[in-house]
Amino acid sequence: MKEKVAQEIARRVKDGDVIGVGTGTTVDAALTEIGKRVQQEGLRLTVVPTSLQSAWRCQELGLTVLYQAFNGHLSWGFDGADQVTKERWAIKGKGGAMLQEKILAKRCKKFIIIVDDTKVVSQLGAGCPVPVEVIPEARILAEEGLRALGATSLEIRSGSGKHGPVITEAGNIIIDAAFPAIRENLERDIKGIVGVVDSGLFIGYASEVIVASASGVSSL
């Protein structure tokens, strides 16, 4: 199913595009398909990636990679999601890059989320915590604030292959916060906590969600 949605994204690429590129396995699949078109058709594509992983992959495929601080808006961009609803609300950040992913989404004139149908849910947050990026010195303040907003459990994300917490590319920690329900203003309220940089809630960012299932590809 990832191949199906990847092929749909690759089909939309045009010569000369400047595209925002997210992070994750579904994005990797889309980049592979885009790379095929670049090789076969000689397309010239410029990308602004959200992570080192995506930047390196784009370079391998022959795409021109711009630094994230490139000063300009992007015609369109795409990224995966951990959960998404039919209203196009999403939770992202399982890979830890939600800050750059949110900046990317805001910069794109059109932001597309690509998922398989297992990621489409009726209730956002069910079985999927909201990642919250926090300045390390503000951990206690962030935890108190998240509990006040209704978080039922908080867990500092631990690193794999290292001792201690995951450290984001901006030098912060991630608190995975479980909420019984996601309300429309929760993203704003989380960001209002002192020490919180941003969260993995993406409410009102996606112009379109492309969903792959066994029966084909559909669009929300």
Of 101, 133, 143, 187, which is the active-site residue?
Answer: 101
Among residues 152, 157, 154, 141, which one has the least CA distance to residue 196? 141
Query: E strands of the chain, at which residues?
Result: 18-21, 46-49, 64-65, 76-79, 83-84, 90-91, 111-116, 130-134, 153-156, 173-178, 196-199, 201-202, 208-213, 216-219
Torsion of CA 113, 100, 31, 63, to 10 degrees: 140
**C-beta of residue 132 within 8 angstroms of C-beta of residue 88:** no
Residue tagged 């112009």 (tokens): 207
To the query of whether residue 8 is one of the catalytic residues in this protein, the response is no
Pairing between β-strand 18-21 and β-strand 46-49 as defined by DSSP bridges: parallel
Q: Show which residues are catalytic.
A: 101
